[in-house]
Amino acid sequence: MSRYAAFVLLLSSGIVFQLSHGTEVNVTNKDGKLCLYASLTVNFSVEYTAAGKGALATFGLPSNVTTTGSKCDNTSSTLTLNFGAGHSWSINFTVNGKNYQTDTITFSYNLNDSSLFPNSESNETKSVTAKPQITDIGLGTCYSCKSRDLIQADLVNMTLSDVLIQAFVSNGSRSENETICSADVPTTTAAPTTTVTNSTSTPTTPPTTTPTPTLPTPTTGKYGVKNDANGTDCLLATFGLRIGFTQGEKYQEMNFEPNGTKASGSCGTNSSELLLVSNDITIMFTFISDSKKFRLHALNVTTHGVQFSEVNTNLSLWEASVGSSYMCNKEQNNTITNLLSLYTFNLQVQPFEVKKGVFSTAEECQGDAESFLVPIAVGVALLVLILIVMVVYFIGRKRYMATGYESF
């Protein structure tokens, strides 16, 4: 089974799984004093098998968790967060001299929980373990990291963000001092150095800079999802894609390569999904329908070489009437999140009511409609100009002829 990416929103069977918006817990020792504090956001993406096909479940750590199994002592502490129908997430801390660190993160998930894993073929409870890079936290300080930290373990991706944790709390109260993660430390750029020369010095030739090459227009790919019942296409998509994303202070762009891409997904009455997995990028498109109109409702993008993942579950793009397709041949640039942009070329999609494996009549985007209006306007203007010239010509000819008659 191929490796999928984190943060894919599934709307199968009309169920929407919300991502986590933060969890805060206090763990006390046998004397009732605070010994471990945590406030954090954790989002999960789990690959599993449903109805003989690969599926992705995406969900967040809820705010209503229990801490049964958590423990504190002088050299080792464990935070265990239990939630849902038999799921748990735990992180272990150990003291290392004047600092402490995380040793392992363990996530256990129950595939028998149909609310998170619909149509799962397994009813097992599975566990994965990973080693996060959270080290050198000063004793008596909180570890703080607002940036996203993607942790991969087998078929599970976990993303931590807005983390504030203190293990080995002394005196029963959380410290105001913080150890900031490196991802949150702003990068500083040295000020340019100015060299002063006298009038007899040979002027220095400024260094030439090589401009960043622009990417070529991405290759247009054709994708489809087949109906399980009769094997006919139930979702069609044609487009070229470019992904623009910001990681730290750096903005990058990548073209999505259709060659070698695996397309899968599902079709429903009110929701359909298209999952595209290439060597470099994984993208999940989720479309919804209100029986009259359809639109792109959610988009998840994860890059493989560079650890980057963004999702927006509240989009309203590519809208058209159900039973028709949406088309936009011109380049479109849509801001998905403040870190992610999507560029499309030669776009045509139809996620509902595909008949005979071909696109239905297209509803065109405003850009395409305007591209047709320009030549029409130019043609009308030329026609008006020709008419004016002809009218002026005939009026002039008539006057000339009238003058000629008077000369007799």
CATH code, domain carrying 163? 2.40.160.110
Q: Are residues 122 and 253 in the same domain?
A: no
Which helix or strand (DSSP H or E) is residue 405 part of? helix 366-406
End-to-end CA distance of the chain, in Å?
101
**Number of domains the chain contains:** 2
Give mean pLDDT, residues 100-121.
93
Q: Are residues 166 and 287 in the same domain?
A: no
C-alpha span between 354 and 367 (Å, rounded): 25
* pTM metric for this prediction: 0.52
Residue 228 lies in a domain: yes
**Residue 11: is its pLDDT beyond 90?**
no
C-alpha span between 380 and 399 (Å, rounded): 29
- Per-residue confidence band for 21, with pLDDT thresholds at 50, 70 and 90: low
Classify residue 299 as left (phi > 0), alpha (psi -120 to 50) or beta: beta
Q: Are residues 175 and 239 in the same domain?
A: no
Three-state secondary structure call for residue 14: helix
Domain of residue 35 covers: 12-183
Question: For position 404, what pLDDT does the model report?
Answer: 58
Question: For position 184, what pLDDT does the model report?
Answer: 82
DSSP-derived secondary structure for 96-109:
ETTEEEEEEEEEEE
Question: For position 214, what pLDDT does the model report?
Answer: 75
Task: Name the average pLDDT for the chain.
Answer: 83
Q: Are residues 167 and 246 in the same domain?
A: no
Tell me the backbone φ, ψ of residue 405, rounded to 5 degrees. -65, -40
Which helix or strand (DSSP H or E) is residue 80 part of? strand 76-83
Q: Are residues 144 and 282 in the same domain?
A: no
**Residue 12: is its pLDDT beyond 90?**
no
Q: CA neighbours within 13 Å on the CB side: how many for 97?
A: 6
Asked whether 54 and 8 are in contact (CB, 8 A), the reply is: no
C-alpha span between 310 and 316 (Å, rounded): 17
Residue 374 lies in a domain: no
Residues 6 or more apart whose CB falls under 8 angstroms from that of 170 comprise 140
Instruction: Give me the amino acid identity at 330.
Output: K
pLDDT in tens, 350-404: 999 999 999 999 999 976 555 545 566 677 778 888 888 888 788 877 776 666 5
Going through 181-292 in order, the beta strands assigned E by DSSP cover 221-226, 233-247, 250-255, 262-267, 271-277, 281-289
**Domain boundary residue among 135, 159, 183?**
183
Give mean pLDDT, residues 239-247.
94
Residues 6 or more apart whose CB falls under 8 angstroms from that of 249 comprise 187
- Per-residue confidence band for 297, with pLDDT thresholds at 50, 70 and 90: very high
Q: Are residues 108 and 253 in the same domain?
A: no
pLDDT in tens, 153-209: 888 888 888 999 999 998 899 999 999 998 887 755 444 443 333 434 444 444 444
Residues 6 or more apart whose CB falls under 8 angstroms from that of 324 comprise 350, 360, 361, 362, 363
C-alpha span between 408 and 389 (Å, rounded): 30
Question: For position 104, what pLDDT does the model report?
Answer: 92
CB atoms within 10 A of CB 297: 21
C-alpha span between 221 and 240 (Å, rounded): 6
Residue 336 lies in a domain: yes
Q: Are residues 118 and 234 in the same domain?
A: no
- Mean pLDDT is lowest, of 8-12, 73-77, 274-278, 314-318, for 8-12
Question: For position 388, what pLDDT does the model report?
Answer: 86
Give mean pLDDT, residues 35-43.
93
Give mean pLDDT, residues 274-281.
90
Q: How open is the CA angle 252-46-343, to the nearest 5 degrees?
A: 25
